[in-house]
Amino acid sequence: MKGEGRRYVRRKILISGALLHNIGTVSVLFFRWPDIFGDYINIDGVGLIFLFLISSIFTLVAFYSLGYFPLKRKVVEDESGGHVYVSCMLFFLTAMTLSASTTHIGLLWIAIEATTLASAPLVYYRQNKRSLEAAWKYLLICSVGIAIALLGVFFVAASTRGTGAELSLSSLMAHAKELDPDLLRIGFILVLVGFGTKMGLAPLHNWLPDAHSEAPSPISALLSGTLLNCALLGILRFYQICISAGLGGFAGRLLVVFGLISLFVAAVFIFHQKDYKRLLAYSSVEHMGIIAVGFGIGADFASFLHVVGHSLTKTLLFLTAGNILVLYRTKMVSEVSGLLKTSAPTGIMFLMGSLAIVGLPPFLPFISEFLILRDGISGGNVIAMTLYLVFLGVIFVTMSRSVLRMVQGKKKELIWGELPKMVLVPPMILAMAVLLAGLYLPRYVSILLENAARMMNIL
């Protein structure tokens, strides 16, 4: 089969896999699947939120890839790694799906480790020196984090001695009051540090800017929009156990501390950032910090809402960043100007995504950030919320400065003309979703979020 024929088959396989995954995900809402695997495969209210995000974002990224890589082949690079791309994408989808579909903490650890193995070759897609360095840094740092998380799993398992509890979430929560509290505390600390590394929480976030910057833009979108959520879900599972064991205050304070450190680090590095993909990567560190703070203070509904808002918005931004890279052939903020005049659709969507990610109304992230602030103040977390506001304010100013520099100014004459619809429609759908959800959150989405929030506190 000739090159074009092979590319056609690969694209069909990728899109078919994405659409079948969507059908399976939607069916979870309407059909009760046979309970064959017990807690090994068990989609609860918390996992369902993440599963829907994985499915919807992966599908949009898959369609975007159909238009993006032919453009890159013409403008910047070839598509010699297409077979690796499709294979690893589907493996990546499988691993992320498993992480959202299991409530067994051992299998959850395996699934999160598998996401690293599946996505590392995607970071190395360009096969140059910088992508190799980014892939190795990603693989090594995240593997160390995963190893630390495994120690945490061992400590949690040791805390069950003499209780008869199994390593399923339902069993651990049912026997939570009988678990050894000291071992459980140590276990949660290790899990938070370990999975927090994969989630992008500071200070072990070092892999994230390089991986997001060097990976192809569709992969950057998946890393930020779905991969970080898988690690977050791993932390939340152990947080649920701590809450049931009466250690919610201890675990929550740790989440707040790590979240505020992440906000501080993001504020510092965004201020000096000159690469717009790295800028978006540090923004992911910021928003993982916001989510950690939200869950730590008990603002569960607002935090789940922010998970949704960040995932959609950051996917939008990385996809439009891919379009900017095709148009301007640079990742430097200083070399991009007049985006609104050069390519109005991409410029408008990038501006919308940027306004959303810095927390301006009426976009969805503004709603969730405000709800976290409200719940934090009402809960008496005045110092934490003051720092939260200060860091968000600094990030708003510094990130807005870079974005406005890119979208304003004189139009640049580019070799490449109008972008094809295939790379415009997916980010357009995301932009409308982030805007409309900020104006009116559909009732069925609110119900899913409320159900997930309730499950965080079921004893």
* Number of structural domains found in the chain: 1
Tell me: the pLDDT tens digits for 233-281?
Answer: 999 999 999 999 999 999 999 999 999 999 999 999 998 889 999 999 9
Using the predicted structure, report yes or no on whether residue 53 has a pLDDT greater than 90: yes
Taking alpha carbons only, the member of 194, 221, 55, 2 closest to residue 113 is 194
Give, for 433, the enclosing helix (H) or strand (E).
helix 425-439
Give the closest residue to 111 by CA, choosing from 153, 81, 165, 83: 153
Q: Which of 2-11, 21-30, 54-63, 118-127 has the lowest mean pLDDT?
A: 2-11
Distance from C-alpha of 374 to C-alpha of 370, rounded to nearest angstrom:
6
- Kindly report, residue by residue over 125-134, the tens digit of the pLDDT: 888 888 899 9
- Please tell me the predicted confidence (pLDDT) of residue 330: 87
- Amino acid (1-letter code) at residue 399: M
pLDDT at 84: 83
Domain residues for the domain of 35 are 1-457
Q: What string of H, E and C letters represents the secondary structure of 269-316?
A: HHHHCCEHHHHHHHHHHHHHHHHHHHHHCCCHHHHHHHHHHHHHHHHH
The fraction of the chain above a pLDDT of 70, given in percent, is 93
Residue 132 buriedness (CB in 10 A; 0-12 / 13-18 / 19+): middle
What pLDDT, on a 0 to 100 scale, did the predictor assign at position 311?
Answer: 97
Residue 440 CA to residue 91 CA, distance in Å, equals 35
- Residue 280 tokens, joined: 């978006």
pLDDT of residue 156: 96
Give the count of beta carbons closer than 10 Å to the beta carbon of residue 60.
24
Residues 286-305 have pLDDT tens digits of 999 999 999 999 999 999 99
What pLDDT does residue 78 have?
44
pTM, whole model, 2 decimals? 0.94
Lowest mean pLDDT among 40-54, 230-244, 415-429, 443-457: 415-429
